[in-house]
């Protein structure tokens, strides 16, 4: 079932077109990556999906309902974890519920049972400064999950600030969590390996203005992707994607 | 253990420097290197302080009252104006230059005018304290509001947060360290502002006491009151620090982790 779709979305800033005629769909439980070079309009597209920016042309639909330019329907996680340093971890995580009008105590009660599945048990009353980089990202993902009443999360390079080892652990962990909670995700990344490891489909956003020219489906099931980056299929996908990106750059 | 010894060292160093200054002061006056009417000995200043203690406390009570009222009103006004300037950019563009210009006017030049307009009671003193304490807090808060990470605001907007919710959850907490820095400076200005305004007219207060003892050439009492003004200012600044620690427990915890006070 199609959850989130965009139809012919275009957006310009100061007369310069950033993205053109983007049509994208996200199925329930799916992880779609938007892979592209810097400046290809990935973040602009994510801002449009989040309702933070209204496109000049095109529309965004969530379960068939037009949500163009209306924030609050899908949850959003940016490159930085953006945990608020003055709030305890549990209050950071429960923030989307409080914003929706839930009382603080009630929101805490709802958030608390999710700390264990997200590997954060015991950190509820910590301040963010007491968490490691990986734990901070997990807390931010938990906040994103709690904020997602529709079951759709938009992630803007969420693992890019982590070191290589932590990033690898987070990839494995995210695949497990996604399988357990059934979150549908649009992931922005410029890391080809990350896109292949995590995605069901990869949309290549290339050119100026950015357009989706190619879409690659990763056939290997997500539960069989342990050490996937050491396998020949992984390298084949990587070669294919790198070839497309190089051709686009030359063009 | 290392952190504890570091903390002790940090407290001992200024205490040692203070004792050294008192010792040099005492040596200068005991050796008659500087005439006693110009620099009374620390012992004489101590005796003057103890001898006139009830009178000093009575005057101090008035000055502290003026300083605290002025600081409270100044803080409230600064808070309201900073919020308004943050909300309405045109208001900031119109008012901020005037605020900067207002700070170039010396306090001592305004005080007689305030006495002329408001009389010899507490009102002109409190008004002067308001004028001196208002600026650092307003500018601190405005800088704090501007320091907010735009991505944090975008995150809350993506949650469909209202302007008030963004202010409460993101902007105000981000501005608190700036607010307390401004408040600390203003607390030190508050007592000095009250004393200066008392110099130029009034019946009670440390400024009035200072003028009287100066006219009587009682320099030991003059030094005693100067030290008292400094102590009161320090106490007020300490109160601000305690208030900051209570309002921002997360910052205190981070400071402890990094070994900072």
Residue A228 touches chain B, beta carbons under 8 Å? no
Say how many CA atoms lie within 13 Å of A244 toward its Cβ.
Answer: 20
B107-134 tens-digit pLDDT:
788 888 888 888 888 899 999 999 999 9
Residue B158: which of A71, A80, A98 has the nearest Cβ?
A71
Task: Spell out a b/e string for A171-210, using b for 16 or more CB atoms within 10 Å of the CB, else e.
Answer: bebbbebbeebebbbbbbbbebbbbbbbbbbbbbbbbebb
Could you tell me how far CA A62 lies from the centroid of its own chain? 16
**Which of B155, B162, B168 is closest to A74 using CA atoms?**
B155
Tokens matching residue B230:
């400094």
Q: What is the mean pLDDT of residues A154-167?
A: 84
For residue A170, pLDDT over 90 is answered with no
Return the SS3 of A159: coil
Which of A:94-133 have CB within 8 Å of B? Answer: 95-96, 98-100, 127, 129-130
Confidence at residue B26, expressed as pLDDT on a 0 to 100 scale:
87
Residue A72: which of B154, B160, B254 has the nearest Cβ?
B160
> Alpha carbon of B16 to those of B41, B46, B127: distances in Å?
19, 19, 39
| A80–chain B nearest CA distance, Å | 8
CB contact under 8 A, B158 and A76: yes
Q: What is the mean pLDDT of residues A186-215?
A: 89
CB contact under 8 A, B250 and A129: yes
pLDDT band of A1, cuts 50, 70, 90:
confident
CB-CB neighbors (< 8 A) of A75 in chain B = 158-159
**Which of B232, B230, B236 is closest to B18 using CA atoms?**
B230
CB contact under 8 A, A50 and B155: no
Q: What is the mean pLDDT of residues A77-85?
A: 88
Confidence at residue A161, expressed as pLDDT on a 0 to 100 scale:
76
For residue B24, pLDDT over 60 is answered with yes
| In chain A, ranges of CATH 3.40.50.300 domains | 2-74+152-250
Q: What is the mean pLDDT of residues B213-217?
A: 86
Pairing relationship of beta strands A16-27 and A65-66 according to DSSP bridges:
unpaired
Distance CA(A62)–CA(A153), nearest Å, equals 12
| A181–chain B nearest CA distance, Å | 20
CB contact under 8 A, B155 and A99: no
Confidence at residue A230, expressed as pLDDT on a 0 to 100 scale:
82
Confidence at residue B142, expressed as pLDDT on a 0 to 100 scale:
92
Residue A86 touches chain B, beta carbons under 8 Å? yes
Distance CA(A168)–CA(A182), nearest Å, equals 21
Orientation of helix B42-51 relative to helix B53-87, angle to 10°: 90
Residue B260 touches chain A, beta carbons under 8 Å? no
Which of B:13-72 have CB within 8 Å of A? Answer: none
**Which of A68, A143, A69, A107 is closest to B157 using CA atoms?**
A69
Which of B:167-196 have CB within 8 Å of A? Answer: 169-170, 173, 176
CB contact under 8 A, B155 and A82: yes
ipTM given for this complex:
0.81
For residue B21, pLDDT over 60 is answered with yes
CB-CB neighbors (< 8 A) of A85 in chain B = 173, 250, 254
Residue B154: which of A52, A96, A129 has the nearest Cβ?
A52
Q: What is the mean pLDDT of residues B216-223?
A: 87
Looking at domain A2-74+152-250, its CATH superfamily turns out to be: P-loop containing nucleotide triphosphate hydrolases (3.40.50.300)
Return the SS3 of A3: strand
Taking every pair of Cα atoms in chain A, the longest distance, rounded to a whole number of angstroms, is 56
**Residues near A127 by Cβ (< 8 Å), separated by ≥ 6?**
A85, A86, A87, A88, A89, B250, B253, B254
CB-CB neighbors (< 8 A) of A76 in chain B = 154-155, 158
Which of B:233-252 have CB within 8 Å of A? Answer: 248, 250-251
* Average pLDDT taken over every residue of chain B: 88
Confidence at residue B256, expressed as pLDDT on a 0 to 100 scale:
56
For residue B257, pLDDT over 60 is answered with no
Q: What is the mean pLDDT of residues B215-242?
A: 91
């Amino acid at each position: 079932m199609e959850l989130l779709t965009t139809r012919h979305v275009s957006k310009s800033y100061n007369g310069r077109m950033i993205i053109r005629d983007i049509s994208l769909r996200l199925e329930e439980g799916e992880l779609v990556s938007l892979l592209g070079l810097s400046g290809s309009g990935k973040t602009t597209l994510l801002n449009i999906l989040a309702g933070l920016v209204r496109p000049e042309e095109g529309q965004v639909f969530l379960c068939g309902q037009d949500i163009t330019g209306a924030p609050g329907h899908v949850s959003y996680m940016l490159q930085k974890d953006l945990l608020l340093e003055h709030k305890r971890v549990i209050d950071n995580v429960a923030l989307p519920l409080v914003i929706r009008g839930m009382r603080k105590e009630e929101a805490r009660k709802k958030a608390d049972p999710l700390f264990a599945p997200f590997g954060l048990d015991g950190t509820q009353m910590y301040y963010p400064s007491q968490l490691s980089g990986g734990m901070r990202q997990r807390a931010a993902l938990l906040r994103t999950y709690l904020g997602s009443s529709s079951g759709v999360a938009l992630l803007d390079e969420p693992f890019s600030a982590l070191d290589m080892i932590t990033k690898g652990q987070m990839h494995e962990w995210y695949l497990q969590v996604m399988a357990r909670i059934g979150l549908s995700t649009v992931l922005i990344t410029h890391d080809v390996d990350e896109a292949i490891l995590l995605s069901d489909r990869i949309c290549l956003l290339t050119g100026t203005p950015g357009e989706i020219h190619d879409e690659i489906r990763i056939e290997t099931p997500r539960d069989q992707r342990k050490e996937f980056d050491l396998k020949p299929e992984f390298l084949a996908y990587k070669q294919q994607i790198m070839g497309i990106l190089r051709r686009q750059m030359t063009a | 253990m290392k952190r504890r010894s570091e903390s002790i060292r940090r407290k001992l160093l200024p205490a040692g420097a203070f004792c050294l200054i008192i010792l040099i002061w005492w040596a200068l006056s005991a050796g008659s290197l500087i005439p006693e009417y110009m620099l009374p000995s620390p012992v004489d200043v101590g005796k003057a302080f103890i001898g006139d203690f009830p009178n000093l406390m009575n005057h101090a009570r008035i000055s502290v009252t003026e300083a605290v009222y002025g600081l409270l009103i100044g803080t409230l006004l600064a808070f309201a104006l900073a919020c308004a300037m943050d909300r309405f950019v045109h208001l900031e563009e119109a008012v901020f230059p005037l605020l900067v210009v207002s700070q170039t006017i010396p306090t001592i030049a305004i005080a007689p005018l305030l006495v002329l307009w408001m009389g010899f009671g507490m009102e002109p003193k409190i008004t002067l304290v308001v004028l001196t304490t208002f600026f650092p807090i307003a500018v601190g808060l405005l800088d704090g509001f501007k320091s907010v990470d735009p991505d944090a605001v975008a995150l809350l907007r993506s949650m469909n947060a209202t302007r008030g919710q963004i202010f409460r959850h993101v902007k105000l907490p981000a501005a608190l360290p700036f607010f307390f820095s401004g408040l600390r400076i203003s607390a030190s200005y508050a007592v000095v502002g009250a004393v200066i305004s008392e110099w130029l007219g009034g019946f009670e207060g440390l400024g009035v006491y200072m003028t009287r003892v100066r006219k009587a050439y009682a320099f030991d009492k003059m030094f005693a009151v100067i030290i008292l003004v400094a102590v009161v200012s320090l106490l007020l600044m300490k109160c601000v620090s305690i208030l900051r620690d209570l309002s921002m427990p997360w910052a205190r915890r981070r400071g402890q982790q990094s070994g900072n006070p």
